[in-house]
Structure 1
Amino acid sequence: IQRNYDLSDTPGLYLPGRGLQAKRAFAKNLDAFPFPEDHLWAASSITEDAEFLLPFQTRRGCPMNCSYCSTSTIEGEIFRKHAPALVVEEIARQAEKGFDRFFFVDNTFNLPASYATELCEELAAAELDITWRCILYPWKIDEKLVRLMVKAGCREVSLGFESGCEPVLQRLNKQYNSQDVRQIAQILGDHGIHRMGFLLLGGPGETKESVEESLQFADSLDLEVVKVTTGIRIYPHTALARIALADGVISEDDDLLQPRFYLAEGLQDWLPETVHSWLAERPNWVT
């Protein structure tokens, strides 16, 4: 820009009045990128915070295409992964600096299952004195993987099951059902993993009855924490954005840079009040 170069052939760049300049290409080899320069933060002050977890992303991309999620737009639909050995090497380096709690921020730690297994095997073999949490997609998780996760240091998981109503799960384009969620939650609990469940209420087709069904389902799982969100944020280039446009929730002119939310008709007042009443009786539920 300083040298006044012509940027019109730069893939993925938006130019005023000209739109997108060719489709952005995704890097295939994540190992070609360096890990963050950790001299830019003060490890000693951070590690003294008992609540701090060092974030770590081992892969990019997601093929699941949940109706509201922006990951496939931002990162692509194909999984691109760091070599497990390099991940463990970097975590070991950070552990030497005093970090002992990590958060794998990958949207679907358990997918692909083969990669999750290999990564956990590498972590377990390294015998690092660390613990970690991750985000699980409640599908294709068995007791063998959970045991391996625990051996590798997993102590907490975020379990975004979003709903306990089958038609709503289908509208969100989820590949699992409520029975999958129940089974996985049970396995995780049996192995002593702290479970934080997530409910996402108010999307397309949501009704008072489906909300009640989801709340009762979440309650029956007996999770350590449940986080409830009312209304679903609308991100560009998602199925939810197309539905919101068709339903008149947003217009063609909305760039969605400022947060906009989808909340099914008829739930605007009732849903927040209902969730508030449920939370009042459940101290481990949050919004």
Structure 2
Amino acid sequence: MLNLQSKRGCAFRCVYCPYPHIEGRKHRLIDPQEVARTALELEAAGAKYLFLTDSAFNSDIEHSLAVAKAFQKARLSIPWGGFFAPVRLPADYFTVMADAGLAHVEFGTEALSDIMLKNYRKPFRVQDVFTAHEQALDAGLHTAHYFLLGGPGESADTINESLEHREQLKKTVTFYFVGIRIYPGTGLYDIALKEEKINAATDLLQPVFYEPDLITQEQIDKMVTERAGNRINWIVGSGGARAAETVSKMHTRGYVGPLWEYLIR
């Protein structure tokens, strides 16, 4: 699996994310034909799968559609995937993507509570997630959702809301990460500074994680772990040593691409 980028910069304003600070808030788009040429070069070099490393491939919907159509026109024959935001999309968006070889959709969902999505400054709400998920499934795509729990305003109620809504997502795998690292240049940094959880002298080269007032990370982890139970399509954290060993064995046997598709239930 090799990586490919179709643009730099991110126009989203997610409270915790340093990408706009690193890459800029203005999209710098790579010509779709150039992206397709690079994809063909990577395929010729032996790539069996491509991952689009844009912070969110569909943050510019029109450009992402143009890239997909360029892949199709260039007759790219290997599958690909990327991170997508579950924003409102054209009804045929994922069908176009699937026709161009898209196989895996990794949604940066982060929460299924409208309160937390608002606190995270996400450009979508819970219903948008459900709609985008169904559109991806209807197009025959594998889907995963990533959750980032423990931000400003998180509580037992918002965690329960996210977990209850998760039960309504069918045919998917979910990854849960508890604790949000504070990076300079982000809205979360400003919030933590205002709340006196850090100060201007705090050394952020060493990981510092935001601590919500109403619930601890340990309590969140316990709630998620208990709800997940033995379900293999609910992954808390990286999955640990057992997951790493399983992935290594699958790679040895020739499996390529995001192996989470084999966990979908």
Superposed pair shares fold, TM > 0.5: yes
Whole-angstrom distance in 2 between the partners of 1:265 and 1:238: 19
Offset from partner CA, 1:45-104 (integer Å, 9 cap, x none): xxxxxxxx2111111101111111101100000000111111111111121122120000
In structure 1, the residue matched to 2:189 is 241
> What is the one-letter code of the residue matched to 2:182?
I
In structure 2, the residue matched to 1:264 is 212
Whole-angstrom distance in 2 between the partners of 1:281 and 1:262: 29
Offset from partner CA, 1:202-235 (integer Å, 9 cap, x none): 1101110010000111221124210011111111
Indicate the structure (1 or 2) with the bigger Cα radius of gyration: 1
Task: For 1:1-287, list aligned pairs within 5 A.
Answer: 53-268=1-216, 269-286=218-235, 287=237
Q: 1:273: how far off?
A: 1.0
SS at match of 2:82: strand
- Range with greater deviation from structure 2 (261-270 or 169-178): 261-270
Q: 1:248: how far off?
A: 2.3
Whole-angstrom distance in 2 between the partners of 1:179 and 1:247: 31
- Scaled by the length of structure 2, what TM-score is found? 0.85
Contact 1:236 1:255 (C-alpha < 8 Å) held by counterparts? no
SS at match of 1:221: coil
SS at match of 1:229: strand
- Range with greater deviation from structure 2 (200-209 or 240-249): 240-249
Whole-angstrom distance in 2 between the partners of 1:205 and 1:250: 17
**Residue segments in structure 2 that go unaligned for 5+ positions in a row:** 238-265
Q: 1:263: how far off?
A: 2.6
Offset from partner CA, 1:3-45 (integer Å, 9 cap, x none): xxxxxxxxxxxxxxxxxxxxxxxxxxxxxxxxxxxxxxxxxxx
- Scaled by the length of structure 1, what TM-score is found? 0.79
Whole-angstrom distance in 2 between the partners of 1:69 and 1:260: 14
The percentage of counterpart residues that share the same residue type is: 31
- Range with greater deviation from structure 2 (76-85 or 108-117): 108-117
**Residue segments in structure 1 that go unaligned for 5+ positions in a row:** 1-52
Contact 2:153 2:214 (C-alpha < 8 Å) held by counterparts? no
Q: Which has the higher contact order (CA 8 A, sep 6+)?
A: 2
Cα distance, 1:164–1:61 mapped onto 2, change above 3 Å: same
Contact 2:11 2:59 (C-alpha < 8 Å) held by counterparts? no
Whole-angstrom distance in 1 between the partners of 2:134 and 2:36: 29
SS at match of 1:226: strand
Whole-angstrom distance in 2 between the partners of 1:247 and 1:262: 10
Whole-angstrom distance in 2 between the partners of 1:112 and 1:144: 16
> What is the one-letter code of the residue matched to 1:169?
L
Contact 1:60 1:75 (C-alpha < 8 Å) held by counterparts? yes
SS at match of 1:220: coil
Contact 1:158 1:197 (C-alpha < 8 Å) held by counterparts? yes
- Range with greater deviation from structure 2 (179-188 or 273-282): 273-282
> What is the one-letter code of the residue matched to 1:145?
Y
> What is the one-letter code of the residue matched to 1:282?
R
Contact 1:161 1:198 (C-alpha < 8 Å) held by counterparts? yes
